[in-house]
Copies of this chain bind each other. A is one copy, B any other.
Amino acid sequence: MKQNKYDNPEFFTKYSQMTRSVKGLAGAGEWETLEKMLPDFQGKRVLDLGCGFGWHCQYAIDHGASAVTGVDISEKMLEVAREKTSPQIRYIRTPVEEAEFPANSFEVVVSSLTFHYLVSFEDIARKVYNWLTAGGDFVFSVEHPIFTAHGSQDFYRDAGGNPLFFPVDHYFSEGQRDTTFLGEKVTKYHKTLTTYLSALLQNGFTITGVVEPQPPAHMLAASEGMKDELRRPMMLIISARK
């Protein structure tokens, strides 16, 4: 059974209260960067892998996509997505690893903060390449390899709880990391930068963008703690073309 943390009632409740869940895309620190890296959606068939509440699916519909498919493992997430987003969007409940589509089914494939939950990035890169039409775009965000390497996903702190610096360790040992997110144990899979980019290149993709997003100025100004986001990269956004 693939990990389905989002159907755990406590986890789901906590996740639903996060700024990014309440405010949607505008509440996600990386959104402004991700939006700039998205292709024109006009008339395109779009797939979102790990669509959650469907915010990105709705964005694609709002920007002219001709058809949008969202895939997610969590029924609870999809219930909310079906309720809150456009009925034009097709939602499929399945683990991302088990999703299957015919070749050349989409002009755009997007994925937000999902692939660090998958054991293999090579597998999904190969499948996405097959699902895309020639010239199609693949844009995704993941937790940064610097952020996933050590496993604690937290700063190393002094006795007073002040962050001293961010720890990196076991970088070249890819695989399972048992971390804590919203007070719950969550399993993620660390992958190196080399793995993400080489899997794309080896499958035939052209890399069109690699950006480590920083929180926008208004978020930095709104909270003192947000400045710590400048001390280490938490996310990596990659765009590639078939």
Question: A: which residues have CB within 8 A of B?
Answer: 146, 149-150, 156, 164-173, 192-194, 197-198, 201, 206-212, 214, 230-233
- A164 CB contacts on chain B under 8 angstroms: 167
Docked CA distance A173–B206 (Å): 29
- A146 CB contacts on chain B under 8 angstroms: 146, 168, 171
Partner of A192 from the list B150, B170, B233 (CB cut-off 8 Å) is: B233
- A169 CB contacts on chain B under 8 angstroms: 165-166, 231-232
Write 30 A-B pairs (CB below 8 A) sorted by A numbering: A146-B146, A149-B232, A156-B165, A156-B167, A166-B167, A166-B169, A167-B167, A168-B168, A168-B231, A168-B232, A169-B231, A169-B232, A170-B230, A170-B231, A171-B232, A172-B214, A172-B230, A172-B231, A173-B230, A192-B233, A193-B210, A193-B212, A194-B211, A194-B212, A197-B207, A198-B209, A198-B210, A198-B211, A201-B208, A201-B210
A178 CB to nearest B CB, Å: 17
A180 CB to nearest B CB, Å: 18
- A212 CB contacts on chain B under 8 angstroms: 171-172, 192-194
Docked CA distance A208–B201 (Å): 7
- A167 CB contacts on chain B under 8 angstroms: 156, 164-168
Q: A156-B165, A166-B167, A168-B165 are in contact. Are A210 and B194 (CB under 8 A)?
A: yes
For the complex of A and B, list the 10 residue pairs with the smallest distance between their C-beta atoms, beginning with the closest. Answer: A165-B167, A165-B169, A197-B210, A172-B230, A166-B168, A207-B207, A194-B212, A168-B232, A171-B232, A194-B211
Docked CA distance A198–B208 (Å): 9
> Do the beta carbons of B192 and A201 come within 8 Å of each other?
no
Determine which residue in A146, A168, A193, A210 has the highest number of CB atoms from chain B within 10 A of its CB, and name it.
Answer: A168
